[in-house]
Amino acid sequence: MIAETQEQSPRTVLMVCTGNYYRSRYAELLFNALAPAGLGWRADSRGFAPSPWNSGPIAAVVLDRLAAAGFAPPAAPRPPLRITPTDIESADMLIALDEKEHRPYVEGLGQPWASRFRLWVVPDLHEWPVERALSAIDDEVRALLAEISISR
């Protein structure tokens, strides 16, 4: 692994869910809030199929959970974004938030892109309640940060 210098851009982990409204946004914002200074990584997020029917640019529960944990939510959250080939090519690590739900999207990308994704197990609201899903994301993000820190 190449040592990070101050001149290099941070490496990017791209969190991807279906809508880029709730799960991937929480994973992105939590990762960036918890990442120690100098880690050399940052998170971003996208969606496979963002919905035009969302209420606002990000799920209120995401902002509420971050604030309750003492993290400042973004002042002006951006709207959900659809994943593009450029996003995939430029990410150093790709994570789809739910294996069952997102495997068809990932496999639809074809090789070699599909093989670059890690698949977590964090189902959407119709399968898991908000607290369970966000707690699972907390655990996954913390484990990922520990893995990155160890591999440095």
- Domains, the chain, with CATH or none: 11-151 (3.40.50.2300)
Which token pair is 12?
Answer: 């990017």
Contact 24, 47 (CB under 8 A): yes
Neighbours of 107 (CB within 10 A): 13
Q: How far is 88 from 125, CA to CA, in rounded Å?
A: 26
Give the pLDDT confidence score for residue 6 in this predicted structure: 46
Residue numbers in the chain where pLDDT is lower than 70: 1-7, 152
Which token pair is 62?
Answer: 């995401």
Percent share of the chain, pLDDT over 90: 86
Q: Would the CA dihedral through 128, 133, 135, 136 be positive or negative?
A: positive
- Upper half-sphere CA count for residue 84 (Cβ side, 13 Å): 5
Q: How far is CA 78 from CA 29, 58, 132, in A?
A: 12, 8, 25
Contact 63, 78 (CB under 8 A): no
Give the pLDDT confidence score for residue 4 in this predicted structure: 45
Q: Is 11 helix (H, G, I), strand (E, B) or coil?
A: strand
Give the pLDDT confidence score for residue 73 in this predicted structure: 85
Q: Helices 23-34 and 130-151 sit at what angle, rounded to 10 degrees?
A: 40
Q: How far is 61 from 26, CA to CA, in rounded Å?
A: 9
Contact 41, 35 (CB under 8 A): yes
